[in-house]
Structure 1
């Protein structure tokens, strides 16, 4: 077996952050405690859920503002940066970002040397549209020493364009931050998997990219959450178990991140990226005009 070009131990953290400004300090403390457990378990890429420091179900726009902080100047981002530096790891976390009079549902990527970048959620779910501004800066991919990292948030995975554009820009792994909520039944199949798990596996499979999906559990105000965090391989299948619907868990996977770059070559005649028929559907879907995609 050849030596891994970019070995990594990935961890996704599933826990129960609670909304309410009185819970903010404890939420942040939990993220750091669980991230420390992941780092002590050997992880060097750690993914926390969407809005992991503040909870999700705000009561009003003012409530959402009260939970927000600037990026990267805010206290949570600084604490996460200090953690990433101390443990020499890459950390992805979600928070409510304030920028002037606008709020964004944001994911940040932090590394041993500090702040790397952020992604603002493009597709807003339900009442999020009352608090947040949709992100409009595209779908960035960040070059790091362990590989190219893309970010998406929750409802984004229902739009196949998002993981496709990230993979077309060369993402080796997509970090998916989620607060998957209960919707009308059926929520789970006989194997205990939810639809979000299958969408994650499908996106990994059809784009031949690793996806590390961290979700949350618990209840807050009028919302319940699905859990079901997972780490999907480039073939789409979970690496190890899919997390439960209701327990705090940390999942680990040992992968060679940059192996995703050769994964699309399935045989001598089929390569998912080259087999795409952009001549037939590119103009209709707008992919050919995306400035980040190769011509």
Structure 2
């Protein structure tokens, strides 16, 4: 019998630069998730600082947020729960380099770090502030829930990223996100004010089907006050082949606890044989799986 994992989708509303407050609310959600038997809790991108790079205090908030990785490690060990703490903005490790990296981590239930991923596909407004992981390969890693990969937000738009993780054996792909309904131009918004929600609705489940994998998508949410509008798309969900969007949230801050039945992934692969085809000699898209050096590995 394949295992069933209980996962908490923590759709936090990140207050700008309020690192301590954002962590306190994230911690409360995670403690609740652990009390309800969850094996994994996933938070949104930029959940500690929000994304306000032009604020003069943004750099200081990022420096402060980097120390919270250890807090999440301690929390994971205390509660025996795995945590993907959204993303944490870190300064480049080289002296004299003032660039910023947007990093997602996978923390195991014993507090150890099993996976680290630096955002590769930067959104347009991020490119003057962040550095991409560029040609570093997407790599999966083993966890108590199985083999997992990490992607971040705009990576969702690139099926190549998913394919590379699938070729490395990933069954579950966690995607912390900071996705707004108003990230497009006025012209784009005028065409359809819900266009970004349509993008997410169309893409998340498609990625699950076409890769016979589970997509744990966790976005930022809006203010919890009833009736107050927010620009955040929300829509955190577990994307599954055959089942579609499981436990999908609206736009407000909140938490959805979902059950990920690994047998569903087996059934999907039995039906679609995506992984089986990818492993065949002479696979006609083999260049997308080249994990070595050279131009073909630039995914």
State the secondary structure of the residue aligned to 1:255. Answer: strand
Within-5 A mapping of 1:119-268 = 119-136=117-134, 137-182=136-181, 183=184, 184-185=188-189, 186-188=192-194, 193-218=197-222, 224-235=231-242, 237-240=244-247, 242-245=248-251, 247-257=252-262, 260-261=265-266, 263-266=268-271
User: 2:285 matched to which residue of 1?
Assistant: 282
Counterpart Cα distance in 2 of 1:130 and 1:236: 39
Within-5 A mapping of 1:33-72 = 33-59=28-54, 63-69=57-63
Counterpart Cα distance in 2 of 1:140 and 1:70: 28
Q: TM-score scaled by structure 1?
A: 0.83
Gaps spanning 5+ residues in structure 2: where?
Answer: 224-229
Post-superposition offset of 1:69:
4.0
Counterpart Cα distance in 2 of 1:288 and 1:229: 29
Counterpart Cα distance in 2 of 1:49 and 1:238: 18
Give aligned pairs, total.
273
State the secondary structure of the residue aligned to 1:235. Answer: coil
User: 1:14 matched to which residue of 2?
Assistant: 11
Counterpart Cα distance in 2 of 1:89 and 1:290: 32
Post-superposition offset of 1:68:
2.3
Gaps spanning 5+ residues in structure 1: where?
Answer: none
Aligned partner of 2:76 among 84, 98, 109: 84
Is the alpha carbon distance of 1:282 and 1:188 closer, same or farther for their aligned partners in structure 2, counting shifts above 3 Å?
Answer: same
Offset from partner CA, 1:229-248 (integer Å, 9 cap, x none):
111113360123x2112x11
Counterpart Cα distance in 2 of 1:187 and 1:111: 39
Counterpart Cα distance in 2 of 1:198 and 1:40: 33
Counterpart Cα distance in 2 of 1:278 and 1:128: 39
Aligned partner of 2:91 among 76, 93, 98: 98
Post-superposition offset of 1:209:
0.2
Which structure carries more helix by proportion?
Answer: 2
Aligned partner of 1:271 among 270, 273, 290: 273
Q: Is the 8 A contact 1:204 1:236 kept in 2?
A: no
Q: Is the 8 A contact 2:163 2:289 kept in 1?
A: no
What RMSD over aligned residues (CA atoms) do the two structures have, in Å?
Answer: 2.7
Q: TM-score scaled by structure 2?
A: 0.82
Counterpart Cα distance in 2 of 1:224 and 1:30: 20
Post-superposition offset of 1:262:
5.7
Post-superposition offset of 1:166:
1.1
